[in-house]
Amino acid sequence: MSEEKSLNFIEEIIENDLNSGKYQSIVTRFPPEPNGYLHIGHASSICLNFGLTKKYPGYTNLRFDDTNPTTEETEYVESIKEDIRWMGFEWKNELYASDYFQQLYDFAVVLIKKGLAYVDDSTSEAIASMKGTPTEPGKDSPFRNRSVEENLDLFQRMKNGEFPDGSRTLRAKIDMAHINMLMRDPILYRIKHAHHHRTGDAWCIYPMYDFAHGQSDSIENITHSICTLEFVPHRELYDWLITQLAIYPSHQYEFARRNINYTVTSKRKLLQLVNEGHVSGWDDPRMPTISGLRRRGFTPESIRDFCDRIGVAKRENMVDVGLLEFCVREHLNKVAQRRMVVTNPIKLVITNYDKGEEILHSENNPEDPNGGTREVPFSNELWIDREDFMEEPTKKYFRLGPGLSVRLKSAYIITCESFEKDASGNITTVFSTYHPDSKSGSDTSGMHVKGTLHWVSAKHAVPVVLNEYDRLFNVEDVASAEGDFKDYINPNSLQSVNAYAEPALVNDEKEARFQFLRKGYFYQDTTSTKDKLVFNRTVTLKDAWAKEQKK
Ligand code: ATP
Ligand code: MG
């Protein structure tokens, strides 16, 4: 990407703030709720928040927004940290909103003392029924005018565990006729006798998002608190609380949530896929989670490039998953080692090859001058792909058929002489002759052939399993599709195929990225062992997106 790229609207705000001297440096935070694994939407937020403090002076905190005890788990905390580091970012401080529970409680007491918060005994149904509508004002709760003393006493007793779940709340006292419904005495605290993953049973009252988030930003002196657009109406309350408490003035800015087609990016829905066994886990290679993408073979570079290209927007729109695939192809093309793998094999016998076998050399990556070569054993019995042979070749068929010649990649030119079929008419063996003077790199044959085939020496071949993935859903806009989103799961999203591979793969590093010639980019699955090699297809070679761009 060019250095001259124009600023996004958040960078513009920050440059103004730095140029005007409002701030010398900035502080951002990435605030996940540890109730699931991070997905590709979160990747945008990570690249934005951490990217800003790479570009400008300042730092980024990782803050776990763990104020809801019932959905949060330590497993999620660990996965989130692993994913952010894998993406290539490091936080300054690892923080937990739950560490602020006492401070938040004290803030609530300040509000009560100022006459700006009260304990409400109304049920949640009653509170909802008094809320009004966008065009009609709400009604005051009968508990709204309790004295400060009574509120302080009741709030403390809420904290002490004297009341059951749902029996009371603490509400801000703002304006039940406010044009912004969120300002109509929002709930600040609710009672929940639940075990918290960090604070255990120390608390039985928990702050609501609106009372925890802005205050946590303020405690950490966050200068630019960036969230997604659905929080625009919350900004007024965010500012009101900071003003009333007279604490550090953090500011909230909103950008558009990033959604990708043919998948879901909601932790709640992803959790359902996991719990109901539609996928093998959060890191199933079909999942849009960062851990799923990693297991599938996506690189951090490609995900950062994707986030960079979609940029920061003020309006929601659906991003084509083809762009993500384009980004990973771009990167893998540069770094992937080329290897030969044959699926759906037929035997190719070279009748005039009497050397037994020899070691040939094939370049690892034509895009990389320093990529070197690998040894590929060649012999008189090879496997080739069934689709590379045609019994009665059509006019423009440049692969193998009776009388046709092709080059075997990094080896020789061969000419097909005859073939054999089994009882059901399937081709089993193709017989050919080779041209000894046509060896790649020292070809003096003067022959010109159009097709190049990949192949594997039969006696050296290593059996491998290829997991070929397709989209997890078969509709583009899963979130808006009618009915249950799980009705749209693509039943053919995974096909496991047995294949023969060249032997180099056995000794290749587990983390190596591969292009299997003419098949796509592949990466070893977490379940793969030297005895049973399993590869995930990261992406096919076909680049529909780039073609689309050229139209
Ligand atoms: P989900 O609906 O998947 O649970 P969330 O917004 O509740 O998403 P959080 O853990 O609260 O998930 O999100 C952490 C940060 O990531 C927030 O700042 C949130 O705005 C941002 N984020 C979450 N999803 C997206 C998305 N699709 N695009 C951009 N940013 C996102
Ligand atoms: Mg959330």
Cα–Cα nearest to 326, from 352, 308, 349, 348? 308
Q: What is the pLDDT of residue 550?
A: 58
pLDDT band at 396 (very low <50, low <70, confident <90, very high): confident
Q: In this structure, what token pair is assigned to residue 507?
A: 């000794």
Query: Considering only CA atoms, which residue is closest to atom 10 of ligand 1?
Result: 32
- Cα–Cα dist 13/205, whole Å: 37
How many alpha carbons fall within 13 Å on the CB side of residue 436?
Answer: 6
β-pair partners for 95: 63
| Count of beta carbons in the 10 Å neighbourhood of residue 513 | 22
Give yes or no for residue 381 having a pLDDT over 60. yes
- What separation, in Å, do the N-terminal and C-terminal C-alpha atoms of the chain show? 22
Amino acid at 484: D
Per-residue pLDDT tens digits for 178-204? 999 999 999 999 999 999 999 999 999
User: Which residues sit with Cβ closer than 5 angstroms to ligand 2, an ion?
Assistant: 33
Give the residues surrounding ligand 1 with Cβ less than 6 Å away: 31-33, 41-42, 44-45, 65, 227-228, 257-259, 265-267
β-pair partners for 298: none
Give yes or no for residue 3 having a pLDDT over 60. no
Query: Span 98-105, mean pLDDT?
Result: 98
Cβ–Cβ under 8 Å, residues 536 and 292:
no
Query: Span 160-166, mean pLDDT?
Result: 97
β-pair partners for 200: 196
Question: Best mutation site among 38, 42, 63, 312 for ligand 1, i.e. most ligand atoms within 8 A of its Cβ?
Answer: 42
Quick one: which atom of ligand 1 is closest to the CA of 266?
3
Query: Span 461-480, mean pLDDT?
Result: 96
- Cα–Cα dist 543/520, whole Å: 11
Give yes or no for residue 544 having a pLDDT over 60. no
Cβ–Cβ under 8 Å, residues 176 and 138:
yes
Residue 518: which region, alpha, beta or left (left: phi > 0; alpha: psi -120 to 50)?
Answer: left
Quick one: which atom of ligand 1 is closest to the CA of 33?
10
CA 44 → CA 65, 203, 265, 296, distances in Å? Answer: 18, 34, 12, 19
- Cα–Cα dist 449/354, whole Å: 23
Q: What is the pLDDT of residue 2?
A: 45
Give yes or no for residue 551 having a pLDDT over 60. no
- Cα–Cα dist 445/392, whole Å: 26
Ligand in nearest proximity to the CA of 47: 1
Report, as residue numbers or ranges, the catalytic residues: 33, 257, 267
Query: Span 517-525, mean pLDDT?
Result: 97
Residue count (the chain): 551
Q: Who wins on pLDDT, 70 or 487?
A: 487
- Cα–Cα dist 244/241, whole Å: 5
| pTM metric for this prediction | 0.94
Q: In this structure, what token pair is assigned to residue 405?
A: 């010649």
